[in-house]
Amino acid sequence: MSTQTEHAGQDTGLEPRSAPAAAGILLVSWAVILGVVVGFGWLITHSFQSAVDPWDNDVSRWFADQRTGSLDPLGDGGTLLGETVVGVGVAVLAAIAFSLWQRSWRPALFYALAEAGIGGFYFVATHVDTRQRPPVKILDPGLVPDHSFPSGHVATAVVAYGGIFVLTWVYARAARKVAGLVLMLPALVLLARLYQGAHHLTDVLTSVVYASVWLLVVARLVLLPGRDREGSSAGS
């Protein structure tokens, strides 16, 4: 009985028996999501390009028309929140904090897999589905001209800040409503990328969808099994 209690308090990761199955599901899920992202990107840059580009470009021009000196710092700030170094830094700090609090490797493993997954999505999609940036002045200099699809900044923000919400949802139910405020940060990054002319609307929305789905898949396979085990141990 004491051994059972000790293991419930010090979870070190996936169950040995479940790890291979979970890894297989993760790999298949990643491949499926990647296929959908690349397939959608191919459609909007080939078959449906003539239908998508006109209104996509109109949206970009509308955001460019809203630029003012007072809004420019918000655009810079939103972009900063989605930078890889910032997003990964937030993820590392949150992973350490939740792992130490729960005495478990699961939060760290959750973030590691989530970050690795979106990095792979972005690398493959930007090289397979090359797309020119919107036809407006881009306020974020130095961007690769044909890497508009998808938005790495938005995906990074969804995983970094959305990950905090997911971990809070799983481990701190009393703080769920407050943690929901952190979801405003990915939205700010999305608007900033549109404002700065770095991406089309379809680029940023694609990133929201695939990053959110991947985050939930990883959470389901990495975080929830541990909670189920703890619940059954407590009940016994």
Task: Work out the mean pLDDT of the chain and round it to a whole number.
Answer: 90
Distance CA 7, CA 158 (A): 32
User: Residue 157 falls within a domain, yes or no?
Assistant: yes
Q: DSSP per residue over the chain, as a string?
A: -HHHHHHHH---SS-TTTHHHHHHHHHHHHHHHHHHHHHHHHHHHTTTHHHHHHHHHHHHHHHHHT--TTTHHHHHHHHHHTSHHHHHHHHHHHHHHHHHHHT-SHHHHHHHHHHHHHHHHHHHHHHHS-BPPPSS--SSTT--TTB-SS-HHHHHHHHHHHHHHHHHHHH-GGGHHHHGGGGHHHHHHHHHHHHTTSS-HHHHHHHHHHHHHHHHHHHHHHTHHHHHHHHHHHH-
Count the neighbouring beta carbons within 10 Å of the beta carbon of residue 155: 31
User: Residue 62 falls within a domain, yes or no?
Assistant: yes
What pLDDT digit, counting tens, does each position of 141-192 carry? 999 999 999 999 999 999 999 999 999 999 998 999 999 999 999 999 999 9
User: Residue 167 falls within a domain, yes or no?
Assistant: yes
DSSP element (H, E) containing 168: helix 152-171
Mean pLDDT value of segment 197-225: 96
- Tell which phi-psi region holds residue 68, choosing left (phi > 0), alpha (psi between -120 and 50) or beta: beta
pLDDT band with cut points at 50, 70 and 90 for residue 224: confident
Q: Is the pLDDT of residue 5 over 50?
A: no
User: Residue 7 falls within a domain, yes or no?
Assistant: no
Distance CA 42, CA 172 (A): 41
Q: Is the pLDDT of residue 227 over 80?
A: no
Total of domains in the chain: 1
pLDDT for res 76:
97
Q: Is the pLDDT of residue 14 over 90?
A: no
Count the neighbouring beta carbons within 10 Å of the beta carbon of residue 17: 8
> Minimal CA–CA distance to 121: which of 74, 73, 156, 85?
156
User: Residue 86 falls within a domain, yes or no?
Assistant: yes
Token output for 35: 């296929």
pLDDT for res 20:
84
pLDDT band with cut points at 50, 70 and 90 for residue 4: very low
pLDDT band with cut points at 50, 70 and 90 for residue 22: confident
Find the Cα–Cα–Cα–Cα dihedral 226, 227, 230, 232, rounded to 10°.
-110
User: Residue 186 falls within a domain, yes or no?
Assistant: yes
What pLDDT digit, counting tens, does each position of 93-130 carry? 999 999 999 999 999 999 999 999 999 999 999 999 99
Token output for 123: 């690398």
Q: Where are the beta strands (DSSP E) in the chain?
A: none
pLDDT for res 131:
98
pLDDT for res 230:
52
User: Residue 138 falls within a domain, yes or no?
Assistant: yes
User: Residue 2 falls within a domain, yes or no?
Assistant: no
Which structural domain range is residue 35 located in? 20-230
